[in-house]
Chains A and B, each alone.
Chain A
Amino acid sequence: EADIYQTPRYLVIGTGKKITLECSQTMGHDKMYWYQQDPGMELHLIHYSYGVNSTEKGDLSSESTVSRIRTEHFPLTLESARPSHTSQYLCASSEYTGNYGYTFGSGTRLTVV
């Protein structure tokens, strides 16, 4: 079934560690996004991409980086995790034409201790 997949679902990691949150979609969408969300709270855009080799920073200042080498894959990397990074990270994708609504992944709940 076409969908968007995030791994891991939950992650507890120590301060200073480097981590990569994975996001893959099988819907052939060009646009992909990363949002940070404390449970049930506002969605904050961290990064987005309109296609391969295209990445932009969002509204939320973040020490993370992203890459878009393949259409279906949009990983998020934190070079040095801090307790302030504790949150839920949602990946999403959407089309360029027709249906502009987002499909969200199930999220990665990150805890930095």
Chain B
Amino acid sequence: GENVEQHPSTLSVQEGDSAVIKCTYSDSASNYFPWYKQELGKRPQLIIDIRSNVGEKKDQRIAVTLNKTAKHFSLHITETQPEDSAVYFCAAITYTGGFKTIFGAGTRLFVKA
């Protein structure tokens, strides 16, 4: 069946450095790719998303890139801060010809002050 592979499972960076989390999906019909941030003890919250007709989207220090040919998308966080420490989940959603969401397994990001 379809799946989403997310790497790395754990990422530790120094404050001010950049962090990159990568996801690869298998369903070529997927056309919407959200990223969620889950802080300790809190609910996952949508932080950025990208649709299949766009290659890159940026919102302040976070950006997402999509390569539809390679079925690969990435989350980029620049100038990391301790409050960026959280678990990040990617997802691939197919909303044409049915509706399906598959989440990645999550990446635990530690930003060291």
Binding site for B on A (CB under 8 A): 31, 39-43, 45, 50, 90, 96, 100-107
**Chain B 96-111 interface 0/1 with A at a Cβ cutoff of 8 Å (1 = within):** 0001010101101000
B34 touches A40 (CB 8 A): no
In the assembled complex, how far is the CB of residue A41 from the closest CB belonging to chain B, in whole angstroms? 7
B93 touches A100 (CB 8 A): yes
Instruction: Describe A's contact surface by its main secondary structure.
Output: loop
B49 touches A101 (CB 8 A): yes
B43 touches A43 (CB 8 A): no
Q: A31-B99, A101-B34, A107-B43 are in contact. Are A40 and B108 (CB under 8 A)?
A: yes
In the assembled complex, how far is the CB of residue A87 from the closest CB belonging to chain B, in whole angstroms? 14
Binding site for A on B (CB under 8 A): 32, 34, 36, 38, 40-46, 49, 87, 89, 91, 93, 95, 99, 101, 103, 105-106, 108
**Cβ of B103: which chain A residues have Cβ within 8 Å of it?**
42-43
A106 touches B105 (CB 8 A): no
In the assembled complex, how far is the CB of residue A53 from the closest CB belonging to chain B, in whole angstroms? 17
In the assembled complex, how far is the CB of residue B100 from the closest CB belonging to chain A, in whole angstroms? 10
